[in-house]
Amino acid sequence: MVRKRTPRVNDIQRWLGSTTIPLFVLDADRRVCLFNVACQELTGWPAAEVVHQVCQFAGHADVLSLDALTGSLCPPPEAFAGQELCVRAHLVHKDGRSASHLLHFFPLRDEEGSQIGVLGIVKPFAAVPPIPSATSPLHQLHAELTALRVAMRDRLGTSALTCRSDGMRRVLGQVELAQQCTAHVSIEGEPGTGKEHVARVIHFGSSAKARWFIPVDCAASSPEELLQTFDRLYEEAYHESSRPLSLQPGTLYLAHVDSLPRDLQQALVQMATPADPTPRPLPRLIVSASTPLRDSVAADRLRNDLFAVASTIAIELPSLRHRIGDLRLLAQHFIEEINRLGTRQVTGLADEVWPLFEEYRWPGNLKELQSVIQDAYRHSSDHLIRTADLPFRFRTGLDAQQLALPTDARALPLDDLLEKVERQLMLLALERSKFNKTKAAELLGINRVRLYSRMEKLGIEDREQGRSEARNPKNEDQSKSPDSSSANDGEPPGVDQ
């Protein structure tokens, strides 16, 4: 009796490689093993460059790169779990043309039922009737990110900005203007809003992109270090240099410019605005601050002449809570950035998470969003990030924000408000640790002695081992040294611990 041979990926290559329908095959490790002629014509990429590439469920900043193509073709993680899917994708041709397509993914199995790969069939999106799974919100976000990157590349010469809200459209117009000229720029915005990132987008989309981008933190550098840096950077412009132009500074980015000593502010103005022409182009000046620069001028922290020089183009970045329309795209962007660097792939956030994200005020802005996504990704074990995966600091921060400020300050003084916040945080920690005091104290960042003391002060019952009993921490702590308590006993735990 002749045993029936199990079909493998090599067989599929022979069967399907010559069809006129664009299709491709990935093995169980997400590695391309078939990219037929029709796919090559559709994308402009030869099979020799695509085959053996590992696909990540992620976009790429360079929309014309091979990584961007394989990211657009990569099936969602559900397809590798055996689910048949239809999703919308935005495919970019190697020459820059782009269009929406429908990708139909079929799991491939051997005769024992083990999945050995995924078959993908590409069809024009307009030629296919709407399919429910093709409009799945998470899969749609994946396609929207690629389309947005293409639009940003066409507009700015880079796809590094992820935005579509009204507030950021104004910023995009200012960034475009800054890229097309050499005027100095000031960028204002709360911490974490991406000021340095915008400065880099301006630099790398301008005529100075072939030269260096030099970031300097005025708050973290000594006056001596700052002066030496300015002297070195501007010396290239004031004197003839044997170094090629590509190795010379193109943009000097000063973060926290309002922390720059006033004597250095004066020196910087003199260097940036010389009376006589210089042999080499001067570095462009881009400055940023987390508070309005006009307020710093009024408070005498910033010289008016430096403000006038650096604010030819003034950009104000909105906080994340004022650009909620970008929240879903930004969250998906950070998830796909992690996908691109890792082996485990996550589709996105579960539906239950979005209301929490949209309600939260994000005091740390984009930097905090990225950090929350990274922590949740590490805790997740599914192809979706769920509420249980969110970090503890996010949950406690959300609960603290839900305690609304009183309308009458006399009715709820600050001490009462802090006690309410502290009590809520302690209850959350105790419930999460199932009233294990040692674990609860670790979650709160305090010691066990202080936990008992504050529980008694706040009237929180000890329900350890399923019993509610009033426990006197003084009796438990008689054997402990008076010096064993935390140095900041009596202070309420911080919301961000």
Q: Boundaries of CATH 3.30.450.20 in the chain?
A: 9-134
DSSP SS3 for 21? coil
**Which pLDDT score is estimated for 413?**
63
Q: Boundaries of CATH 1.10.8.60 in the chain?
A: 321-390
Q: Domain 414-484 carries which CATH code? A: 1.10.10
Q: Return the CATH class of domain 9-134.
A: alpha beta
- From the list 338, 342, 325, 331, the residue with the least C-alpha distance to 394 is 331
pLDDT tens by residue, the chain, 497 residues? 444 444 455 555 566 656 788 999 999 999 999 999 999 999 999 999 999 999 998 877 778 889 989 998 999 888 988 888 888 888 888 888 888 888 999 998 888 888 999 999 998 876 444 444 444 666 677 677 677 777 776 666 665 788 888 889 899 999 999 999 999 999 999 999 999 999 999 999 999 988 899 999 999 999 999 999 999 888 866 766 666 666 788 999 999 999 999 999 999 999 998 877 777 788 999 999 999 999 999 999 999 999 999 999 999 999 999 999 999 999 999 999 999 887 889 999 999 999 999 999 999 999 999 999 999 999 999 899 999 999 999 988 888 887 754 444 444 466 777 777 788 888 888 888 888 888 888 888 888 888 888 888 888 887 764 444 344 444 444 444 434 333 333 333 332 33
Give CA–CA dist 288/257, Å, rounded: 6
Q: Domain 166-315 carries which CATH code? A: 3.40.50.300
Q: Boundaries of CATH 3.40.50.300 in the chain?
A: 166-315
Contacts of 72 (CB under 8 A, 6+ apart): 59, 89, 90, 91, 92, 146
Q: Boundaries of CATH 1.10.10 in the chain?
A: 414-484
Check if CATH label 3.40.50.300 holds for domain 321-390: no
Residue 448 structure tokens: 């066990």
Give CA–CA dist 285/31, Å, rounded: 45
The residue type found at 449 is: V
Strands 23-27 and 115-124: antiparallel
Looking at the DSSP bridge assignments, the partners of residue 54 are: 31
C-alpha 226 chain-centroid distance: 30
Give CA–CA dist 435/452, Å, rounded: 12
CB-based contact 12:119 (threshold 8 Å): yes
Indicate yes or no: pTM above 0.75.
no
Quickly list H helices, 311-413: 327-341, 354-359, 365-379, 392-402
